[in-house]
Structure formats: C-alpha cells, structure tokens
C-alpha cells in the first residue's frame, strides 16, 4: 500500500479546497464527463450543497503535496429527501434510521488514476467510516462502474435498490452498510 498522509476536513475546510477537489474529480472521471451531471460545474454545485450538511467530513490522501484521492459524506436529513428518486419502496427500518438521523451518506470516493489499485480507496473508505456514530451508511454506485461496484460488495455493502437522485443523473444502485447494531 502507498505511504500516504490522510487528512480529515470538515465542511468549511473542504470548501476552501474546492478547486483541488474539482481538479481531481475531472481527472478521476475524465472518460465519463458528460457536460451535465458529470461535469466540473455539476460537481462544484453538489459540493457546495454538501459541505454545509450536518456532520460533513472529508478524508483526503496525500503524497507530499499531491492529492492522491478523497472521500466525503454527511448525515442525511431526517426529512428523508435523500431517498427521493428511489425506484421502489424504501424499507421501513431505513426510513426509521433516517428520521432518527442515523444514516451517513458517502457522496464521493475517488482516487487519481495513476494511484489506483494500491489500496487507497479502501483506506479512505475505512478511515471515513471508522468510529462513526450512525447506525447505517449508504452510498450510490453506477452499476456500469464494475471496479467500484465490485469493491463495495467486497467491503460489505449490500444493495438496497435503485435510485435516480437528480433529474440529470444516471440511475444508481443504492447500497447500505450497517455501522452499528444499535437501532434508534
């Protein structure tokens, strides 16, 4: 595994790094940028919404001054708006955890292409989720992204259903992972 420095940032700190985060986003998704949802502007719009959310946290991996990758997430709102666009009925226990503010959503996980396949994504993932107080985590994955999808399933994630969170976004698989056995 690469010898990297991991850094935790809150929403304000992450917002100050928005250009570096967007630069890496463009590199990580270079072949998938579509000028709409998957674009620098779209990413920055979403990042601007997310950094102000409750319990936002970003973990970044650095090789010296170079940003190798990052992951971020936040607690989803108890209103349940996170689940809008879900293609089926959201299970009652998930809605209960949502109302109790017990669900943490990972929004982005990416590694610079030249740093992939070195265990960095797993290290970022585990560091972000370590010690979280929520009962459940959720993440969305493009079913066409076979490497990411395979990794998530190997890391203990399970499919909840399909969701299209934005009108201009693809349909993603919504995955969940239990973080604790305590129910609200």
pTM over 0.85: yes
Domain limits of the chain?
Answer: 5-178
Sign of CA dihedral 175, 109, 125, 127: negative
Strand partners of residue 175: 139, 159
pLDDT in tens, the chain (184 residues): 458 999 999 999 999 999 999 999 999 988 887 777 788 999 999 999 999 998 999 999 999 989 999 999 999 999 989 999 999 999 999 999 999 999 999 999 999 999 999 999 999 999 999 989 999 999 999 999 999 999 999 999 999 999 998 888 889 999 999 997 544 4
Say which residue the tokens 């994630």 belong to: 157
Which strand ranges, in their side-by-side order, compose the sheet holding 103-111? 5-9, 57-63, 66-75, 103-111, 136-141, 172-178, 158-163
> Around Cβ 122, how many Cβ atoms within 10 Å?
15
Those residues whose C-beta lies under 8 Å from the C-beta of residue 16, and which sit 6 or more positions away, are none
pLDDT of 183 reads 44
Quote the CA–CA distance of 73 and 137 in Å, as a whole number.
9
Dihedral-angle region of residue 18 (phi above 0 means left; psi in -120 to 50 means alpha; beta otherwise): alpha
pLDDT of 36 reads 73
Quote the CA–CA distance of 104 and 1 in Å, as a whole number.
27
Residue 63 token pair: 């090789």
DSSP-derived letter for residue 106 is E
Burial class (CB in 10 A: 0-12, 13-18, 19+), 116: middle
Q: Which CATH architecture has domain 5-178?
A: 3-Layer(aba) Sandwich (3.40)
């Amino acid at each position: 595994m690469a010898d990297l420095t991991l850094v935790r940032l809150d929403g304000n700190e992450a917002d100050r790094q928005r250009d570096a985060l967007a630069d890496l986003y463009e590199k990580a998704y270079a072949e998938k940028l579509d000028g709409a949802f998957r674009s620098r502007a779209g990413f920055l719009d979403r990042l601007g919404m997310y950094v102000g959310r409750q319990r936002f946290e970003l973990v970044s991996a650095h090789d010296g001054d170079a940003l190798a990758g990052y992951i971020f997430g936040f607690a989803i709102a108890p209103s349940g708006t996170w689940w809008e666009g879900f293609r089926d009925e959201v299970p009652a226990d998930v809605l209960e955890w949502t109302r109790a503010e017990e669900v943490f959503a990972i929004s982005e996980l990416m590694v610079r292409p030249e740093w992939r396949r070195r265990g960095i994504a797993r290290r970022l993932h585990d560091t972000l989720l370590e010690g979280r107080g929520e009962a459940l985590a959720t993440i969305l994955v493009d079913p066409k992204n076979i490497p990411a999808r395979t990794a998530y399933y190997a890391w203990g994630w399970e499919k909840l259903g399909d969701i299209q969170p934005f009108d201009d976004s693809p349909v993603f698989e919504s995955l969940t992972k239990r973080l604790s056995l305590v129910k609200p």
